[in-house]
Each structure stands twice: as structure tokens, then as C-alpha cells.
Amino acid sequence: MKKMLAIFFLTTYLFSTTELNQLLKLPALVEHYIEHTKSNSHISILDFLVLHYEGNHSKNRQHNKDYDDDQKLPFIIHSDVLNFCFVHPQPVFFESFHKIVMVESSKVMSFDDSFISNHFLSTIWQPPRSC
């Protein structure tokens, strides 16, 4: 069960973050090759691949009658498979329109650290002692 779960997560990760999902278009490649063999029975698989993949730049490629079918073949159109979006929030400033009124009150006793015994602090960071 663990092995099957690991394989599932690995394939899910690979299909979502790499171009491995292009392999799902292989049936379209076979179907398109069969269409080409119907119109030209002497075309080999290698000739078919050269015809569709050699110098496949979208700017230089001529639009022929089966251009739309050619675009459905694997590894013709590459897509962004993994995108990151980072958002840097802007600081928020609040302005107060209320006036602060200072009121004199009785004296407040402040806490003074000089009256605390620091004996316990000296025992914290001591090297280990042998018994």
C-alpha cells in the first residue's frame, strides 16, 4: 500500500511540475500519423517526425491545412507547468484623529532589577562537574 501511495504521489508531482504531461498526447500523435499514412502510404515514422518536429518554430512554421491538428501533438507547444507568485504586502499605516490627554496621577512604582538576586543565573552556564 505504501509503495502504491508513493508511486501515486510521485507521478502526480512529475505530471504537475514537468513536461511529462505531454506524454498524454501520444494517442494524438499516433492518430495524426495514421491520417498521414492514408494520404501518403509511403511516409515512414521517421519522415513523419521530421516533417512535424524538425525546426518547429511557431514563427517560421507555415500554416498548412492540418496546422490545428499539428498543434495538438506532444512537445509542439510548451507550457509553463509551475508558476510561483510572491506577494509583498505593503505596510499599513493607521492615523489617529483623537487627541491624547495627559492626566497627572499618583506616582507609579517601577520595577528595579537591581534588587533581584542573580545567584540563580550564575548556576545556569556552568561546565559539567565530575562526581
Asked whether residue 53 is assigned to any structural domain, the reply reads yes
Packing angle of the helix pair 26-39, 45-53 (nearest 10 deg): 110
What is the domain range of residue 29?
24-104
Give pLDDT, residue 10: 94
Task: Flag whether 72 is in a domain.
Answer: yes
The total number of structural domains that make up the chain:
1
Specify if 12 maps to a domain.
Answer: no
Residue 29 within any structural domain of the chain: yes
The pLDDT tens digits along the chain (131 residues) read 999 999 999 998 888 888 888 888 999 999 999 999 999 889 999 999 998 888 755 554 566 788 888 888 998 888 776 677 778 887 777 776 666 666 666 666 566 656 666 666 666 777 777 76
Residue 33 within any structural domain of the chain: yes
pTM of the model: 0.52
Whether 73 and 23 have beta carbons less than 8 Å apart is answered as no
CB atoms within 10 A of CB 73: 20
Look at residue 62 in the predicted model and tell me its pLDDT: 62
Lookup result for grid cell 516533417: 51
